[in-house]
C-alpha cells in the first residue's frame, strides 16, 4: 500500500515576522510517495529532481527525519519506503526542505489511518528543519502543512494560528539563480537587537496582521518592513534594493526576502500588478547578469 502527497512552497518571515509568519504558494511544491513494508525501518529509495544532491540516509533526509519523529510517538514496528520528487529548487528560500518533510508526513499519516491532525504534524516537521538548517523554525513547515497564512505565536509549545487573507492579494516570487543555505543566512544575523528595533518590528508585525484582518492593503504595505534580518541578509542578494525601488514604481504593496533568500517575494493588490512586478523584477536581475524564475499566485 502506498500514498503520494504534495506539499507546497512557502514564503517564511513575510518581512517583519522573522521565524513567526509564513504563507503557502499552492501551485509549487514537492511530492513524496510513502509505501508500507514489512522490513522494519525507514528507507529513502528514490529521489528525483534534486540533481543528485539530497541525502538518502534516513537520519539526514528531511522526509525520513520527519516521519521518524512521528513514528516515535506510535507503536509502529514495520517499515516504510520513501520516494521524493522535488519540484522546488534547493537553497532558494521557498521552503524546499519544509515541503519535502510536510509531504512525507501527510502521506505517512494517511497510510497509518490519520493518527495525528495537521497541527500535530508541525511538531514532527520542525525536527526535519533542525536537521536541514540547524534551527527548528516552523514558519515554512506550518504553512506548508496547513495552507494559507499562519502565525507561530510560540514555540514552546508550538502554537500555530491560521490568519485570514483578503481576496485579491497576489504574490510574485522572483527566484534569481543563486543558492543560499538557510544555515549560512542565519549565521549572518545579529544576535542582539536594540529596544528601538524591537519596537519598530513589533509595530509592523501587529500592523501586518491587523491589515490581513481588516483587508487593508495600505496597512499591509506600510507594515512590510524588516529591521532585524533584512539589513544583513540583503547584502547576500545582488540587486535587492534596486529591485525594491523598481517594483514600488509599478504599484506593488511591498517586497522582502522570502525565508532566508535569495528569492524575493512581492505582494500586489491585483494580478495585473503582480504580473508587471514579474517583468520589472526580471529586468532588474537580468541587468546584473542573473537569470530569474518568476512565479505568480494568489495568497
**By the criterion CB under 6 A, which residues form the site for ligand HSE?**
12-13, 18-19, 93, 95, 137, 139-140, 182, 186, 229, 259-260
Nine-digit cell at 177? Answer: 539563480
Would the annotation count 187 as a binding residue? no
Is 182 marked active-site?
yes
Least distance to ligand HSE, CB of residue 195, Å = 22
Would the annotation count 70 as a binding residue? no
CA distances, 130 to each of 34, 138, 144, 172, 201 (Å): 22, 10, 16, 28, 25
Cell 524564475 -> residue: 293
Which one, 100 or 109, has the nearer CB to ligand HSE?
100
Nine-digit cell at 8? Answer: 507546497
Least distance to ligand HSE, CB of residue 133, Å = 7
Which one, 183 or 199, has the nearer CB to ligand HSE?
183
* Active-site residue (options: 10, 62, 182, 263): 182
Which one, 112 or 133, has the nearer CB to ligand HSE?
133
Would the annotation count 97 as a binding residue? yes
* Active-site residue (options: 10, 33, 64, 129): 129
What CA–CA distance (Å, rounded) separates 13 from 19? 6
Secondary structure E strands in 184-278: 254-257, 264-268
Crossing angle of helices 240-248 and 271-287, in 10° steps, is 150
Which one, 31 or 258, has the nearer CB to ligand HSE?
258
Least distance to ligand HSE, CB of residue 9, Å = 11
Least distance to ligand HSE, CB of residue 270, Å = 27
Would the annotation count 92 as a binding residue? yes
Neighbours of 84 (CB within 10 A): 26
- 3-state secondary structure string, 18-55? CCCEEEEEEEEEEEEEEEEECCCEEEEEEEECCCCCCC
Q: Are 54 and 63 in contact (CB under 8 A)?
A: no
Neighbours of 211 (CB within 10 A): 22
CA distances, 272 to each of 95, 163, 171, 212 (Å): 26, 25, 11, 20
Least distance to ligand HSE, CB of residue 12, Å = 4
Would the annotation count 223 as a binding residue? no
Residue nearest to ligand HSE (CB): 259
Which one, 12 or 273, has the nearer CB to ligand HSE?
12
Would the annotation count 15 as a binding residue? no
Binding residues, as ranges, are 89-99
User: Catalytic residue positions?
Assistant: 129, 182
Amino acid at each position: 500500500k502506498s500514498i503520494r502527497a504534495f506539499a507546497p512552497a512557502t514564503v517564511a518571515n513575510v518581512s517583519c515576522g522573522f521565524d513567526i509568519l509564513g504563507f503557502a504558494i499552492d501551485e509549487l511544491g514537492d511530492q513524496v510517495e510513502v509505501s508500507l513494508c514489512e522490513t522494519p525501518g525507514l528507507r529513502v529509495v528514490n529521489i528525483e529532481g534534486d540533481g543528485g544532491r539530497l541525502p538518502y540516509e534516513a537520519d539526514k533526509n528531511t522526509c525520513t527525519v520527519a516521519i521518524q519523529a512521528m513514528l516515535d510517538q506510535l507503536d509502529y514496528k514495520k517499515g516504510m519506503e520513501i520516494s521524493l520528487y522535488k519540484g522546488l529548487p534547493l537553497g532558494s528560500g521557498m521552503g524546499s526542505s519544509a515541503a519535502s518533510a510536510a509531504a512525507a508526513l501527510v502521506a505517512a499519516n494517511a497510510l497509518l489511518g490519520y493518527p495525528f491532525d495537521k497541527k500535530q504534524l508541525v511538531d514532527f516537521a520542525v525536527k526535519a528543519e533542525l536537521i536541514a538548517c540547524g534551527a527548528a523554525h516552523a514558519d515554512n513547515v506550518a504553512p506548508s502543512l496547513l495552507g494559507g497564512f499562519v502565525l507561530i505565536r510560540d514555540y514552546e509549545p508550538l502554537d500555530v494560528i491560521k490568519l485570514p487573507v483578503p481576496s485579491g492579494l497576489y504574490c510574485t516570487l522572483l527566484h534569481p539563480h543563486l543558492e543560499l543555505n538557510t544555515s549560512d543566512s542565519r549565521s549572518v544575523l545579529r544576535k542582539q537587537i536594540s529596544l528601538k528595533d524591537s519596537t519598530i518590528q513589533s509595530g509592523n508585525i501587529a500592523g501586518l496582521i491587523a491589515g490581513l484582518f481588516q483587508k487593508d492593503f495600505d496597512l499591509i504595505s506600510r507594515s512590510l518592513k524588516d529591521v532585524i534580518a533584512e539589513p544583513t541578509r540583503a547584502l547576500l542578494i545582488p540587486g535587492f534594493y534596486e529591485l525594491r525601488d523598481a517594483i514600488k514604481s509599478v504599484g506593488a504593496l511591498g517586497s522582502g526576502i522570502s525565508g532566508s533568500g535569495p528569492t524575493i517575494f512581492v505582494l500586489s493588490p491585483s494580478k495585473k500588478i503582480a504580473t508587471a512586478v514579474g517583468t520589472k523584477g526580471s529586468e532588474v536581475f537580468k541587468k546584473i547578469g542573473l537569470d530569474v524564475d518568476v512565479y505568480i499566485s494568489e495568497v
